[in-house]
Amino acid sequence: MSKLHKKIYMAAGYNTVSLGTGRKEFHPKKPRPGIEHYITESGQNTLKMIGGAGNVDECVIGNFMADRYCKQGHLNGFFPLVDKGLEFKPSLRVEGACASGGLALVTGIKSILAGMSDVVLSIGVEVQNTVKAVYGADILAGAGWYQKRKDGHVHFFPGQFSDRAGAYYEKYGYDYARKGMGRWFRNAIENARLCPTAQEYHNKVEDLEEFYHSYPPNGRSFVDNLNVFDCSKVSDGASAIAILSEDGLKKTGISKEDAVEVLGFGHKVRNITEDPNPLEVTAIKKAAMEALDSAGITIDQLGTIETHDCFTIAGILATEAFGFAGPGEGAQFVADGNTARDGMIPMNTTGGLIGWGHPTGGTGVHMAVTIWEQLTGRAGAAQLEISPDKPYGMTVNMGGDDGTVVAIVYKRG
């Protein structure tokens, strides 16, 4: 993909709380906000930062399975609920499993590239705590080829990534791999503790790696090669951000210094009816490389990355896909602290899917909000020191088992 032919920006990001197990205010037997609440909260707060609904040309919402979790389709019809001024403006819903949020961003980017819009309001949302986990596992199985459901694990996607972890253990060593996965978990929780909207914000465990290793994988109670701390959260939440042209910046009164520029993106889709190589995340690799090529930079110029750690093994494999570590070297790369917030390449600085949470359709937009916050100095206690030599950030949002992947490269405007 060549470089973008016009300048595109993102600004005015907003995240709701990622609500679920771990948050003090969450109780599974007490009433909780519905999907309408999350769409409205995220959308209204972004509109406040861009001068209101009158400045919006188009709306896009990313969502995976509200049809089953909430028995609600037609989510683009909720934009007028966010603000009456959005009524009769073009809007649509996009879906690509857990990459639905990333697709909401790409859809907005393409609309601006096509000259159809100057300001696009993009929202990603999911409400998942409406069903018990075992029923949620069946819903999430739709992110893969559902025909394999009858032959898969009862916890379908943990089973898929358990198989990946098992293949990694077999080739590179169990203790070696678990050390890296334990460090990934520790980083996630430590970063989440710095972000008030994170699901693990209230986590007070002192020695996180010792805690992680005290619960070895047990196939009799869960899956063979992962424990529950290797897994992303079941979450309710939404994120919103504005995608803008240069004229859109002027219209909304946002300065370039308060925005991030989108320099390039990659979008790849793998055949979900075929089993992937368990030791590689090929779609992630191809999407990230396309985004970097489109942006005209190399991986070593990135200051931070938000990557899709639906499971700790996915984080390990991502470091290898990006080229920071060779095959089988990702576990050591992580164990050595290279992806920690003070490491060589800080990743998932507000906790990622394991620490911040994973409202599936919202995750891709949450990643963009996090990068916008980091590159414009709005990340609060989670703020990194962004080096002038590495002024770029990248988000990598994956749907299914390395099925649909959206990667985007950003720089402070």
Give the start-to-end residue ranges of the domains of the chain.
Answer: 8-132+234-258, 144-232+263-350+382-412
Per-residue pLDDT tens listing for the chain (413 residues): 567 999 999 999 999 999 999 999 999 999 999 999 999 999 999 999 999 999 999 999 999 999 999 999 999 999 999 999 999 999 999 999 999 999 999 999 999 999 999 999 999 999 999 998 889 999 999 999 999 887 878 888 999 999 999 999 999 999 999 999 999 999 999 999 999 999 999 999 999 999 999 999 999 999 999 999 999 999 999 999 999 999 999 999 999 999 999 999 999 999 999 999 999 999 999 999 999 999 999 999 999 999 999 999 999 999 999 999 999 999 999 999 999 999 999 999 999 999 999 999 999 999 999 999 999 999 999 999 999 999 999 999 999 999 999 999 999 87
Residue 153 pLDDT: 83
144-232+263-350+382-412 — its CATH code?
Answer: 3.40.47.10
Residue 179 pLDDT: 98
Residue 3 pLDDT: 79
Residue 305: its H or E element: strand 302-307
pTM (2 d.p.) = 0.98
State both tokens at 266. 């990659």
Following DSSP, what letter does each residue of 106-173 receive, concatenated?
A: HHHHHHHHTTS-SEEEEEEEEE-TTS-HHHHHHHHGGGS-GGGGGGS-SSHHHHHHHHHHHHHHHHH-
User: Are 366 and 239 in contact, with CB atoms under 8 Å apart?
Assistant: yes
Residue 149 pLDDT: 87
State both tokens at 18. 């990622």
Strands 8-15 and 236-244, by their bridges, are antiparallel
Residue 363 pLDDT: 98
Residue 2 pLDDT: 64
21 Cα distance to chain centroid: 18
Q: At what angle do helices 174-192 and 312-322 cross, to 10 degrees?
A: 100
Quick check: do 8-132+234-258 and 144-232+263-350+382-412 share a fold?
yes
The set of long-range contacts for 90-95, using a CB threshold of 8 Å and a minimum separation of 24, is 90/57, 90/58, 90/59, 91/58, 91/59, 91/60, 91/61, 92/59, 92/60, 92/61, 93/60, 93/61, 93/62, 93/63, 94/60, 94/61, 94/62, 95/62, 95/63, 95/64, 95/361
CATH class of the domain whose range is 8-132+234-258: alpha beta
